[in-house]
A and B are shown apart, each in its own frame.
Chain A
Amino acid sequence: MEKVYSVPSTKHEVVGGFCPGCLHGVVVKLVCEVQEELGILDRTVCVVGVGCCCITARHWKCDVMNAPHGRAPAVATGLKRMAPKDTVVYTYQGDGDLAAIGLSEIMYAANRGENFTVIFVNNSTYGMTGGQMAPTTLVGMKATTAPFGRKAEDVGYPLHMCEILNQLGAPTYLARVSCDSSPNVIKTKAAIKKAFQNQIDGKGFSLVEIMSACPTNWGLSPLDSIKFMREKTMVEFPLGVYRDR
């Protein structure tokens, strides 16, 4: 019988490490599939951020470098510029890592038009540390550090990274996609592939923001989390291609 589906050869076969219903696992699989299809595994480096995103480190078969919290785009800058010309570099970051502590690093890497790929997973919370308020937490949404819900008059509004980065001149590709449904997973993979292909073609900075769920810290079942994404987070963060040059 023909084998039509398997774990990508570009991924270590290890136990996930993610909570049930978390979509990080889907994103990891998609990135690995893209690496397999592009045939770039042996010349690729992942710079992982800190948070749940660093759980992915055990999955990548490509080279992996751990950056301090939020600094992955800076590490990737030095690495990409000085590594052999055909090296493919991507950062894998969550929303706390990229949009809070690492906001400066991502803004400037994007503004310099660094030729690497950013995989940015947005689940509106700090997952690993236990559900604290993230820069992407919705107004009114409860978090362990916003027990009465996020109050805009106190802590402001969620940061929309694609829209913010779209103000800059240099970025090549900015897209927000989601892993809530099969059709969207297919679109997510296409966006990831484009973001890697752009780098291979020397076109510059590409970022894919991927909407995800955190059932554990949202206090919802995996299926209710998907519903919450469709009704709430994906409304606050509209999907779409914000920049494609």
Chain B
Amino acid sequence: MERKFMKGCEAVAEAAVRAGCRFFAGYPITPQNEVPEYFARRLPEVGGQFVQGESEVASINMVMGAASAGVKAMTSSSSPGVSLKAEGVSQAANGSLPLVVANFMRGGPGGGSIQPAQSDYWQATKAMGNGGYKLIVVSPGTLQEAVDLTYKAFELAERDRNPVMILADGCIGAMMEPVTLPEMKSDEQLEKEKQARKNWLVNGFKHREIGPVNIDLWGGRTSMLAMEAIAAGEKPGPRGLEESNRVSGELYERWAKEDTMVELYKMEDAEYVITGYGTAGRVAKSAVDALRAEGVKVGLIRPIIVFPFPYDAYKALDPKKIKFILDVEMAIPGQMVEDVKFAIQDRIPIHQFGRSGGNIVGREEIIAAFKAL
């Protein structure tokens, strides 16, 4: 395993390449410009292609085209740019295309600021675009997590044939840390993986085991399943948009059971809980350590995958033991706190502390907010 000192944006891009990403299209926007810049010089080395799209909208659509040709593909942006990509992500979710979208969040709403923020939790986890669909949303708090989750994002996208979002904030993109890079997937391995999905690719039917497909087979996710069923000599199941949405709904329910990821830190004897994700979660962790040094029995709940949300980690809290929960986010009003409230349902008092407008939440101010309660 190779260990390197890297910048967040570049670490994400390199992890993507090692996961097999061979196509990237993106449009410049701060604070994630190092992502397209890295891909522009890296992808030609591995036989991939980089295209600087004329817009965010064009970029996500190019990625959809590459994904439908069976190539692992990715785009990246920051908050306002991700809004523009929503159209394509919605289309990709309906078409059941595996691809990865990274959002290095900055201040909002609107153009907001170019400094780090966690302004898009609602957008990423509740309604990324029109139509009612969901994505697995991974949210790293360290660069090592950013690398590992990027690698995982491609595997999840392939497994579910659904877009996956990397929800990082500008801090994760801009800072440098040592990271252990994952193994580079070999061309043979990537070809093998591509062969495994050949029966739903849209790149000319001579590459599939089934010939021309007529419109009777159409209907979002069910088209793909039907094509594979026919290729396997089985009877295709029911099809159509409603059926497709039902199948997608079942997928989202499976995620809730199988794919949550959360860090519980010093929770065994905790009487207080601080919770946050991404950079806010990381700073909150250092606040927990500082408070523990003063003898305060405080623990941390840090969601690492924010959708599916780890409701169970909060539901398991004992109201007789936990005096209150302090939710910390780089967003005003707080966004993730709504999911915490949903899990807790008035059983434990929940307080919220946030910074916004591109201000990074500080350890001392978290401690001050905690002590004021």
Seen from chain A, the residues whose Cβ lies within 8 Å of a Cβ on chain B are 12, 14, 41-45, 47, 57-58, 61-68, 71, 74-84, 87-88, 104-105, 107-108, 112
> Taking the nearest CB of chain B, how far is it from the CB of A114, in angstroms?
10
Q: Is B54 a contact of A67 with CB atoms below 8 Å?
A: no
**B22, B51, B69, B205 pick with most chain A CB within 10 angstroms:** B69
CB within 8 Å of A: which of B91-122?
91, 95
Residues of B within 8 A of A47 (CB): 65
- Does the CB pair B215–A78 fall under 8 Å? no
Note all chain A residues with C-beta closer than 8 A to B233. none
B73 touches A78 (CB 8 A): yes
Contacts A14-B215, A71-B88, A76-B65 supplied; 10 other A-B pairs, CB < 8 Å = A12-B215, A41-B212, A61-B212, A63-B203, A67-B61, A75-B64, A77-B25, A77-B58, A77-B61, A87-B204
Interchain CA distance A140-B275 in the complex, whole Å: 63
| B51–A42 touching, CB < 8 Å | no
Of B51, B62, B87, B213, which is in contact with the most chain A CB atoms at under 10 Å from its CB? B62
> Contact at B62–A43, with CB atoms within 8 Å?
no
Cross-interface CB contact of B66 among A42, A44, A81, cutoff 8 Å: A81
Known A81-B66, A82-B23, A82-B65: A58·B215 in contact at CB below 8 Å: yes
When distances are taken between beta carbons in the complex, the residues of chain A under 8 Å from B55 are: 104
B contact residues around A76 at 8 Å (CB) = 65
B44-86: contact bitstring with A at CB < 8 Å (1 yes, 0 no)? Answer: 0000010101110111011111111111010000000000000
Q: Is the CB of A104 within 8 A of B54?
A: yes
| Contact pick for B65, options A42, A44, A79, A112, CB 8 Å | A79
- Distance between Cα atoms of A68 and B64 in the complex (Å): 11
Q: Tell me the complex Cα distance, A82–B68, Å.
A: 9
State which of A75, A80, A88, A107 has its C-beta within 8 Å of the C-beta of B61. A75
Q: Are B203 and A83 in contact (CB under 8 A)?
A: yes
Contact with A along B235-265 (1 / 0, CB 8 A): 0000000000000000000000000000000
B204 touches A78 (CB 8 A): no
Q: Which residues of A contact B70 (CB under 8 A)?
A: 82
Residues of A within 8 A of B205 (CB): 42, 62-63
B236 to chain A, nearest CB (A): 17
A68-B91 contact, Cβ under 8 Å, with A47-B65, A78-B23, A78-B64 = yes
Given the interface pairs A58-B215, A62-B212, A75-B62, the reply to whether A81 lies near B204 with Cβ below 8 Å is no
- B:180-226 near A, CB below 8 Å: 202-207, 211-215, 218
- When the two chains form their complex, are residues B204 and A63 in contact, meaning their CB atoms are under 8 A apart? yes
Q: How far is the CA of A61 from the CA of B218 in the complex (A)?
A: 13
In contact, B204 and A43 (Cβ under 8 angstroms): yes
Complex contact B204–A44 (CB within 8 A): yes
**B54 with A108: CB separation less than 8 A:** yes
Instruction: Give the one of A14, A76, A77, A108 with max B CB within 10 A.
Output: A77
Asked if A71 meets B68 with Cβ closer than 8 Å, knowing A62-B205, A62-B212, A63-B202, the reply is no
Provide the residues of chain B in CB contact with A88, threshold 8 Å: 204
A74 touching B203, Cβ below 8 Å: no
B51 touches A77 (CB 8 A): yes
Contacts A42-B204, A63-B205, A71-B61; A82 near B54 (Cβ below 8 A) = no
